Copies of this chain bind each other. A is one copy, B any other.
Amino acid sequence: MEMRVTKALQGGDGHLTLDIALDLPPGSLTVLSGPSGAGKTSILRMWAGLLKPDAGTLRVNGDVWFDAAQRVNLPPQKRSVGLVFQEYALFPHLSVRENLAFAAGMETPLIDELLEVFQLTQLQARRPRRLSGGQQQRVALARALVRKPRLLLLDEPFAALDPELKDDVRQILRQLHQTWDLTTLLVSHDPLDAFWLADRAFQLQSGKCVEVPIPRTAYVVSTDAARQEMQVALEIQLRTLPLANDVPPPGTRLVWNGADSRQEKGSEDKPRDQPSRDDCEGGKLSFEQQQKRNDNDADVQ
């Protein structure tokens, strides 16, 4: 899937011209970040067919979705995208379940599954206006996913979630993305989204998409002296990381990048594949970045 388009927008400070070259390899998860008003949402809207580029092309696995020269502009209906709007945009007259059912176009067991994993089962009969912000956001995510779209477009889909839920939802998304072989473009301000989820990361700066490295470095505390100094830092840092509440017991080895560093012996830890709340009983911890589907990563592991 490749986007080569230009689009003139009215930016925050005068004119802003997007000049985007952005490839989304099938099955990949790409994170896009950039300052407020840079045009991230506009890029998603162009992918979805809701905003017409001024020029350029948009091709998806050989299909032409948009071509200014040939006057091709596939309507959003035919693009098989799932878009989570920044403002959720749930249908106010439909209950949670009806929102999903309408999106699916039929009753499918998937609706119940998604309600379940997003912890919405008990809320399914409610109208969106009677939901909290985070609950609405999860409904929006579930609604976009229920069609198993070819291209999943997410506009800051975790912004209203608390850190623990954010972690859960990231994990769900990672799983579904993999199982259903989705291609995903995720707009996010949170660098941890890139860290935990992304195959590639782009930064949108003055109208251009620039690839940026994803932090994949290991964070190893081995010496005692360093550990002591780190201890205090971790308190802050962990609150910003998915596993929030628990400070690792002294001597724990933290592994942040899975490439070649499996978790080493801590005091009483067992190796785990994914960080999750259930793993944190009694201060046991395991940090490991998700195994990426990137080939170059895979053969290292």
Residues of B within 8 A of A75 (CB): none
**Stretch among A52-60, A216-224, A268-276 lining the B interface:** A216-224
Question: In the complex the two chains form, what is the Cα distance from A13 to B230 in whole Å?
Answer: 38
Q: Taking the nearest CB of chain B, how far is it from the CB of A92, in angstroms?
A: 12
Q: Are B235 and A162 in contact (CB under 8 A)?
A: no
Contact A132-B221, Cβ < 8 Å, known A12-B122, A226-B230, A236-B215: no
Task: Indicate whether A160 reaches chain B with its CB closer than 8 angstroms.
Answer: yes
Q: Are A156 and B133 in contact (CB under 8 A)?
A: yes
Question: In the complex the two chains form, what is the Cα distance from A229 to B219 in whole Å?
Answer: 7
**Stretch among A30-38, A62-70, A140-148, A170-178 lining the B interface:** A30-38
Chain B residue with the shortest CB-CB distance to A121: B13
A236's contact among B12, B14, B219, B225, by CB below 8 Å, is which?
B219
Task: Indicate whether A10 reaches chain B with its CB closer than 8 angstroms.
Answer: yes
Task: Indicate whether A191 reaches chain B with its CB closer than 8 angstroms.
Answer: yes
Q: Are B215 and A221 in contact (CB under 8 A)?
A: no
Residues of B within 8 A of A298 (CB): none
Q: Are A229 and B220 in contact (CB under 8 A)?
A: yes
Question: In the complex the two chains form, what is the Cα distance from A135 to B130 in whole Å?
Answer: 26
Task: Indicate whether A123 reaches chain B with its CB closer than 8 angstroms.
Answer: yes
Residues of B within 8 A of A229 (CB): 220-223, 226
Contact A219-B233, Cβ < 8 Å, known A12-B123, A36-B132, A122-B12: yes
Residues of B within 8 A of A133 (CB): 36, 41, 86-87, 155-156
Closest 4 CB pairs of A and B: A36-B134, A191-B239, A217-B232, A226-B226
Question: What would be 6 A-B contacts, judged by CB atoms less than 8 Å apart?
Answer: A12-B123, A36-B138, A219-B233, A219-B236, A220-B229, A226-B230
A-side residues, CB < 8 A to B, are 10, 12-14, 33-37, 39-41, 86-87, 119-120, 122-123, 126, 130-135, 138, 155-156, 159-166, 189-192, 195, 215, 217-223, 225-226, 229-230, 232-233, 235-237, 239-241, 244, 256
